[in-house]
Amino acid sequence: MTRLAVVTLSRDEARSLTDEVKQDAERLWRKVVELRDGEAHIVLGHSSWRAYWAAEFGGDGSRGDQLVRAGRVIEALGPGEHVPLPQNDRQARELAPLLDQPETLREAWAEASASGTPTAAQVREVVEQHRPRLTIPVNEELLVKQQRETLIRQLDQAVYSLESPPSTAEAEARRLLADGDAGPFTPSRFERVADYATAFARTLKEAGIGG
């Protein structure tokens, strides 16, 4: 068997061929997006995109999903005239969580690649910093209700302690203290509780509650 001679590339040839491969990868990602959006899997009679990918290219089909995400990121980044595009699909896929925020996606990539080619982990870290934090809307009416119920419960507890026989009141105080909910029990605190209870009782009477 004749062995093919191995030709060592020059530096310029190696650089040029490397850049060609990068461009080929970028074109591949874009073509995969075109296949997915063009519903090639349906046209060719497959039950799903993953089934199509597994039948045509092998594997379990998840690789097709990965390349689609990479392709969509490349589309969002644009031509890459000022900032080099991701060199592999792992870098590109880490930007996918920001696809619904194209401007933020471009900012995140510019930041991640500012000091050279980043790793996928470095891209992920920058993306996490740019992702919006999940906030739970506050139901003001419910919050006020909960605060009122908490106050009533605390006052009821305080009144119980004040009205109970000394031994029972002491036991209740010790229980609350053991739970760590009430803090240190001092005479001044009980006096304040009594003031709150009196004011609360007055408010209830004025509102006609409780008789």
Residue with the larger pLDDT of the pair 194 and 10: 10
Q: How far is CA 160 from the centre of its chain?
A: 46
Angle at 123 between CA 118 and CA 124, to 5 degrees: 145
- Find the length of the chain: 211
- Mean pLDDT confidence for 154-168: 60
Give the Cα separation of 54 and 64 in Å (integer). 8
123 half-sphere exposure, CB direction, 13 A CA radius? 25
Give the Cα separation of 80 and 87 in Å (integer). 12
Residue with the larger pLDDT of the pair 198 and 113: 113
> Any idea which residue has 């009122």 for tokens?
148
Question: Above 70 in pLDDT, residue 117?
Answer: yes
Tens of pLDDT, residue by residue over 10-65, are 888 888 887 788 788 888 888 999 999 999 999 999 999 999 999 999 888 888 99
Tens of pLDDT, residue by residue over 136-152, are 666 777 777 777 777 76
Return the pLDDT at 144: 73
Answer whether 91's CB lies under 8 Å from 75's CB.
no
Tens of pLDDT, residue by residue over 53-100, are 999 998 888 889 999 999 999 999 987 666 788 988 999 999 999 998
- Mean pLDDT confidence for 145-170: 64
Residue 40: which residues within 8 A CB-CB, separation 6 or more? 52
Confidence band (pLDDT; 50, 70, 90) for 123? very high
- Mean pLDDT confidence for 163-185: 54
Longest dimension (CA), the chain: 108
Residue with the larger pLDDT of the pair 206 and 161: 206
Domain ranges of the chain: 11-130, 140-206
